[in-house]
Amino acid sequence: MKTQINWGIIATGGIARKFAEDFRFVENGTLLAVASRSQDKAQHFANDFHIERAYGSYEALAEDPDVDAVYVATPHDTHVELSKMCLEKGKAVLCEKPMAVNAAQLESLLDTAEKSGIFLMEAIWTYFMPVVRQAKKWVDDGRIGNIKMIQADFGFKTPENPKDRLYNPALAGGALLDIGIYPLAMAHYFAPGEIADIKASAIKADTSVDQTLGMVLTYDDDIIANLTASFRFQMENAAYVYGDDGYVKIHGNFWHPHKAVLMKDSGIEDIVEDDRLSTGYDYETNAMTQWLLEGKKESPVAPFSWSRKSVETMDKIRELIGVKYPFE
């Protein structure tokens, strides 16, 4: 029986670096290999993080018989192709969000996972954050009464550069898939019902991708989620869950928060804080490592049903705002 999981990373960009930095907090796991399309980049990354093996192609890492699990951290448009490749080589996959650009892509990937019997999870790291999980417990325990509204925003200011992946339609750019997925994840996490109605509006960049986005989701249990995302201006980056007997505030940056408060009319009733030293990627990595050691094939926190709900919601929003990628 395995007692250790050997991990590999596909890509060497910013998010891959954060994942590698946090790996020192992962138990029962070893960061064994990294792959880039450039051998020099892979070797530089490996040197920075004391990784034993560096590969100049993604395929070479997938062929390594000692790698058990792979973190796919490439741009959105390559997620399905690379995840499939790893699954077909017998590697468990933790794939960055969104795991697929549209529902058709996702079903193709899930079919590969189910046929291979290999573990696959979308990297919705927010759901593993202790502060977010405690906030959910407060809500589930009825401490704010019945949920009435969810509010979340994610915004930062960045230059409009058509070559940047954020603005490049060929790389599935745009605010929705890159950061809007986080406010949506908050809504899906706290609202127990099904979505009854979606409204959305967007301001587009010159490349025709969405750069500022507003979304209003109405759930069948009369909960409204008011969600925003933008590359053009800084926002509070907090999430609120309002009930008829109080509310919860998850402080910014809500997708990997250090603090949440439970508020009543009389003021603060409860506080949860996380004084971790990591960015927070280690929480999902630790969980997946343990599930692999236990022989699980699907995440109980971010199951395939969650990925389906997420991408189907984003497909509808893109239809409403008129964003379609050239490869679709």
Residue 17's H or E segment, with its range, is helix 14-22
Quick one: which of 323, 250, 268 has its CA closest to 101? 323
Which one of 97, 136, 249, 297 is the catalytic residue? 97
Structure tokens at 18: 């954060």
Residue 49's nearest CA partner among 67, 22, 26, 28 is 22
CB atoms under 10 Å from CB of 152, counted, come to: 28
Cα(150)–Cα(28) distance, integer angstroms: 37
CA distances (Å), origin 178, targets 76, 144, 212, 282: 8, 31, 12, 21
CB 237 within 8 A of CB 249: no
d(CA 151, CA 176): 16
Question: Is 41 among the residues known to form the active site?
Answer: no
Enter the tokens of residue 260.
């949440």
Pairwise CA distance, residues 126 & 128, whole Å: 5
- Residue 273 DSSP SS3: strand
**Beta carbons of 99 and 78 less than 8 angstroms apart:** no
Can you say whether the dihedral through the CA atoms of 257, 232, 215, 317 is positive or negative? negative
User: Which residues have a catalytic role annotated?
Assistant: 97
